[in-house]
Amino acid sequence: MKIVKMLLVIVLLGVFGCGDSTTGPSTTPPPPPVLEISGFVSQFEVVPTSSGNFADINYEVTITSNMRTTGCFIRVNWLNATDLQIGFTFLGADVTVPAGTSKMTNQDFEDIATARSIKDSRVEFSLCS
């Protein structure tokens, strides 16, 4: 009788202890990478026009992105000494940004008083995919 009980326990452990052999280990696919992109104005120059009322703003933006992205709208906000926005310009619309570090140059046209009061900037990215 003891042998029958022991055989029954062994059979039950074999059936219930092994689990379903048709199901493999459960793995969750890794999440898609998250875009990390930033930029700053790395060069900036105000060049007054011959009339003296306006100025060209020549600037370069250094962009760092962890992956290539497309469709970006890149806007540069011009800030005064108290960090208030006094103007903006679009560096580009529907721009492709490569992975790594890249540079883009552009020019803006402002009245001379606004151009000379620019003390800082903020680069914004939107619609990147």
- Give the global pTM: 0.75
Query: Across the chain, what does the average pLDDT equal?
Result: 88
Distance of CA 44 to the CA centre of its chain: 23
Position 64 in a domain: yes
User: 19-56: per-residue pLDDT in tens?
Assistant: 555 566 678 888 989 999 999 999 999 999 999 899 99
117 and 77 in contact (C-beta within 8 Å)? no
Tokens representing residue 53 in the block: 């009322």
What percentage of the chain carries pLDDT values higher than 70? Answer: 81
Residues 95-111, mean pLDDT to the nearest whole number: 97
Residue 101 lies in a domain: yes
Residue 52 is part of which domain span?
37-126
Spatial separation of the C-alpha atoms in residues 114 and 117, rounded to whole Å: 5
Lowest mean pLDDT among 28-37, 62-71, 94-103: 28-37
> Is residue 38 within 8 Å of residue 100, measured between CB atoms?
no
The domain total for the chain is 1
Residue 17 within a domain: no
